[in-house]
Amino acid sequence: MSLHAKLSRGWREPGAWLRVRWVAMARRLPAGSVSAALLLAGCTTYPVGNRQAVSDCPACAVGTVELPLLPGAFSYPIVEVAIDGRPGYRFLFDTGAMGTVIFRHPRTADLALPSRGEIAIGGVGDGARPSAQVAPGVTLQLGPLTLRDMTALVLPVDRLALFGSPDLVFIDGIIGNDLWTRFGVEVDTAAGRMRLHRLGKTDLGSGARSAALSVRHDHLFVPVRITLDTGHDPVAVDLLLDSGDTGALYVVTDPLRGLVPPEGAATTEERGIQGQRRTIAARSTAVEVAGVRWLNVPTGFGAEGIAIREWGAGSIGVGLLSRTRWAVDVGQSRLWLMPGDASERRFEDGSFGLAAVAVNNRLLALLVAAQSPAANAGLQVGDELISLDESPVTGGHQAAVEAALQTRHKATLCWRRGDEVRCGTLTRAAS
DSSP three-state, residue 23: coil
The predicted structure's pLDDT at residue 270: 52
Higher pLDDT, 276 or 261: 261
DSSP string, 228-297: -TTSPPPEEEEEEEETT--SSEEEE-BGGGTB-PPTT-EEEEEEETBEEEEEEEEEEEEEEETTEEEEEE
User: What CATH number is attached to the domain comprising 390?
Assistant: 2.30.42.10
Please give the Cα distance from 164 to 59 (Å, whole number): 40
One domain, residues 139 and 58: yes
One domain, residues 147 and 51: yes
CA atoms within 13 A on the CB side of 252: 19
Domains contained in the chain, number: 3
User: % helix / strand / coil in the chain, to the nearest 5?
Assistant: 10, 45, 45
Which among 147, 154, 217 is positioned nearest to 183, based on CA atoms?
A: 147
One domain, residues 152 and 89: yes
Helix ranges, 26-133 (H): 58-62
Range of the domain at 260: 209-346
- 204 is a domain residue: no
- 10 is a domain residue: yes
CA 382 to chain CA centroid, nearest Å: 20
One domain, residues 143 and 218: no
Looking at this protein, which amino acid is placed at residue 252?
A: V
One domain, residues 126 and 146: yes
Higher pLDDT, 379 or 18: 379
Write down the pTM of the prediction: 0.84
Q: What are phi and psi of 170, to 5 degrees?
A: -110, 0
Which among 1, 79, 13 is positioned nearest to 217, based on CA atoms?
A: 13
Q: What is the pLDDT of residues 275-284, one digit of tens each?
A: 455 567 777 8
Higher pLDDT, 130 or 258: 258
One domain, residues 20 and 127: yes
DSSP string, 20-61: E----SSSS-----EE-EEES-SSS---GGGTTSEEE-HHHH
The predicted structure's pLDDT at residue 361: 86
Percent of the chain having pLDDT more than 70? 78
Q: What is the pLDDT of residues 329-351, one digit of tens each?
A: 999 999 999 987 666 788 876 77
One domain, residues 163 and 65: yes
DSSP three-state, residue 11: coil
**pLDDT higher than 70, residue 306:** no
The predicted structure's pLDDT at residue 230: 62
> Residue 318: which H helix or E strand, with range?
helix 318-321
The predicted structure's pLDDT at residue 43: 53
One domain, residues 221 and 243: yes
Higher pLDDT, 264 or 405: 405
**pLDDT higher than 70, residue 24:** no
DSSP string, 162-218: T-SSGGG---SEEE-HHHHTTEEEEEETTTTEEEEEETT-----TT-EEEE-EEETT
Which among 270, 281, 259, 6 is positioned nearest to 153, based on CA atoms?
A: 6
Q: What is the pLDDT of residues 154-164, one digit of tens each?
A: 988 877 766 76
Distances (CA, A) of 204 to 196, 325, 335: 12, 9, 11
Count CB atoms within 10 A of the CB of residue 75.
21
Please give the Cα distance from 137 to 55 (Å, whole number): 13
Q: What is the pLDDT of residues 388-404, one digit of tens each?
A: 999 999 988 887 888 78
Task: Tell me the β-bridge partners of 363.
Answer: 358, 385
**Domain end position, chosen among 147, 173, 198:** 198
Higher pLDDT, 264 or 372: 372
Please give the Cα distance from 5 to 273 (Å, whole number): 13
Give the model's confidence band at 124: pLDDT under 50 very low, under 70 low, under 90 confident, else very high. very low
CA 87 to chain CA centroid, nearest Å: 23
User: What CATH number is attached to the domain comprising 285?
Assistant: 2.40.70.10
**pLDDT higher than 50, residue 261:** yes
Higher pLDDT, 293 or 311: 293
**Domain end position, chosen among 315, 346, 377:** 346
Count CB atoms within 10 A of the CB of residue 323.
18
